[in-house]
Amino acid sequence: MSHLSRRSFIGQTLAAGAAAALPSLASARPAGANERLRVALLGVKGQGRVHAGKWSEMKDAEVVAICDPDSNIIGEAMTAVEKRTGKKPAYVQDIRKIMDDKSIDAVSIAMPNHWHVLGSIWAIQSGKDVYVEKPLGHNIWEQRKLVEAARKHNKIVQMGNYTRSLQSHRSAIEFLQSGKLGKVKVVHGIYYGTRNSIRKFADAPVPEGVDYNLWQGPAAERPFNPNRFHYNWHWNFEYGGGEIANNGIYFLDIARWGLGKTEHPKRAMSIGGRLGYEDDGTTPNTQISVLDYGDVQIVQECRGLASDKYMNITTGVVFHCEEGRLVIGNGTIAAFDPKGEQIQKFAGGGEHFRNFADAVKARNREMLNSEVEQGHLSTVLCHLPNISYRLGETKLVSGDAPFEQSAGGNDAYSRMAAHLKDDGIDLAKVPLRVGRTIRFDGATETIPGDPEATKLLSREYRKPFVVPENV
């Protein structure tokens, strides 16, 4: 796309006049191997502060701008950058001004999930490379559009699942794929992290200093509410995907990586609920998801109430194999024989942001540890279970085998029932959402014969914040 046509597109897509250039920044130039990479941070309330620290540590990179629709929360990131580099970045409230500044080489995105894809595509179309936090996007259709945009404009795009760059994980996956543990029978992804109730809040006036129209972006127009704003947006399907998309994505990604799967699963089903309290959340705090590839299954467990461990971990992945198991989790990254004796341990760190910066400078997407296509394949493993869950039936579950053709899923359910009973929740009396079985056509990324599920492959975008069909 030419410079003129790219500007024309942005002008048609965005509000007129919003894309004014940043006068304090230098003229455009490509980022070569010996150039300082000029980066803009988009979203700095939570994970964005990590981005500020990581980029500020690099001597060959410079944070030139910080962008967030909430001017009240930029102080920590601004101070971190200035303290480490001696230079204060520009503050820009409107993301659209960042896009029109051609001196910015890359954006580092830590906005809410519903902004990930649109922010990334706008950046790509304005000539920038993209580091975007996990999960890749809000829905499957828009993620495919992001992959298309990266390919069309030849841009470097990395998803922020940092575990892909840790040497401990890379060595463990290499060991697994060497076949020393035999064939993988089933993979369990584990995230047991206590989450308290977000309670219920009435709608309220928009806080001073917040451009709430920009914050909502592609999402439906809604009144301001603290539970539809900073962080708690995770627990509302309008903006996030619950714990499976917040933290489960790490373990689903490791599971798919270890299995060497470069295709989508054939089926997905999810069971769970928002248990133990009633609040404004719409996503489950307790969820078991089964993703079936035909020859092997991934079972992802998310627990938000107090829980014991699984295989001595509360977060991580367990590959159950014919000749033992591989555990990649908090406190344990090791292989075990069938008797449970440790046979090999794995260690070593790595830097995901550095990996991205090196790939940008080399103009080589093959260098990326989590290139956008890989991010898409893994994030689909969050979306399919959520589609199943959202289209499910709330009912009492009779018996202890609610998952068809999944011994791993039923094992997870039995353990979940026992865990919930310890927390005072008896599933003989408390109903769960029993998800619909989703049969996914991976080649076309469609759900044939199911118009309700098909609708959830995308969303209705609020103008002018629309993910374009033609990227």
pLDDT in tens, 133-146: 999 999 999 999 99
Please, which pLDDT band fits residue 399 given cuts at 50, 70 and 90? confident
The domain that contains 75 carries what CATH number? Answer: 3.40.50.720
| Residues of the domain holding 411 | 166-349+371-455
Residues 156 and 173 in one domain: no
Task: Count the domains in the chain.
Answer: 2
Which residues neighbour 470 within 8 Å (Cβ) at sequence distance 6 or greater?
none
Residues 95 and 63 in one domain: yes
pLDDT > 90? residue 13: no
Residue from 362, 131, 111, 104 nearest 216 by CA: 111
Q: What is the pLDDT of residue 23?
A: 36
Residues 154 and 171 in one domain: no
Where on the phi/psi map is residue 57: left (φ > 0), alpha (ψ -120 to 50), or beta? alpha
The residue among 163, 184, 199 that closes a domain is: 163
pLDDT > 50? residue 154: yes
The residue among 163, 180, 206 that closes a domain is: 163
Residues 440 and 300 in one domain: yes
| Mean pLDDT along residues 375-400 | 96
In contact, 385 and 300? CB cutoff 8 Å = yes
pLDDT > 60? residue 9: no
276 in a structural domain: yes
Of residues 30 and 448, the one with the higher pLDDT is: 448
Q: What is the pLDDT of residue 94?
A: 98
Burial of 108 (0-12, 13-18, 19+ CB in 10 A): buried
| Mean pLDDT along residues 309-325 | 98
Say how far residue 345 (Cα) sits from the centre of its chain. Answer: 28
| Mean pLDDT along residues 88-108 | 98
Residue from 299, 296, 286 nearest 266 by CA: 296
pLDDT > 60? residue 415: yes
Structure tokens given for 218: 């592609």
pLDDT > 90? residue 21: no
433 in a structural domain: yes
The domain that contains 381 carries what CATH number? Answer: 3.30.360.10
Please, which pLDDT band fits residue 32 given cuts at 50, 70 and 90? low
Please, which pLDDT band fits residue 31 given cuts at 50, 70 and 90? low
pLDDT in tens, 284-296: 999 999 999 999 9
In contact, 353 and 61? CB cutoff 8 Å = no
Burial of 176 (0-12, 13-18, 19+ CB in 10 A): buried
Q: What is the pLDDT of residue 398?
A: 82
381 in a structural domain: yes
Residues 377 and 437 in one domain: yes
| Mean pLDDT along residues 355-380 | 98
460 in a structural domain: no
Residues 38 and 70 in one domain: yes
In contact, 31 and 156? CB cutoff 8 Å = no
Residues 184 and 77 in one domain: no
Residues 222 and 157 in one domain: no
Residue from 301, 274, 273 nearest 289 by CA: 301
> What one-character-per-residue DSSP string does 161-206 give?
-GGGG-HHHHHHHHHHHTTTT-SEEEEEEEEE------------PP
Q: What is the pLDDT of residue 22?
A: 42
**Helix %, strand %, coil % for the chain, to 5?**
35, 20, 45
Residues 175 and 159 in one domain: no
pLDDT > 70? residue 11: no
The residue among 117, 133, 163 that closes a domain is: 163
Please, which pLDDT band fits residue 35 given cuts at 50, 70 and 90? confident
94 in a structural domain: yes
Residues 73 and 36 in one domain: yes
466 in a structural domain: no
Residue from 437, 438, 433, 436 nearest 397 by CA: 433
403 in a structural domain: yes
Of residues 252 and 8, the one with the higher pLDDT is: 252
Residues 258 and 146 in one domain: no
Please, which pLDDT band fits residue 15 given cuts at 50, 70 and 90? very low
Q: What is the pLDDT of residue 259?
A: 98
Where on the phi/psi map is residue 411: left (φ > 0), alpha (ψ -120 to 50), or beta? alpha
Of residues 19 and 303, the one with the higher pLDDT is: 303
In contact, 235 and 276? CB cutoff 8 Å = no
In contact, 439 and 266? CB cutoff 8 Å = yes
Residues 137 and 170 in one domain: no
How far is Cα 377 from Cα 196, in angstroms, rounded to an integer?
31
Place of tokens 């828009």: 142
pLDDT in tens, 52-78: 999 999 999 999 999 999 999 999 999
User: Considering the chain, what is the average pLDDT of its residues?
Assistant: 93
pLDDT > 70? residue 209: yes
pLDDT in tens, 225-253: 999 999 999 999 999 999 999 999 999 99
| Mean pLDDT along residues 375-403 | 96
Q: Which percentage of the chain shows pLDDT scores above 70?
A: 93
Structure tokens given for 75: 């102080």
**AA letter at 394:** T
β-pairing, 267-273 with 184-192?
unpaired
109 in a structural domain: yes
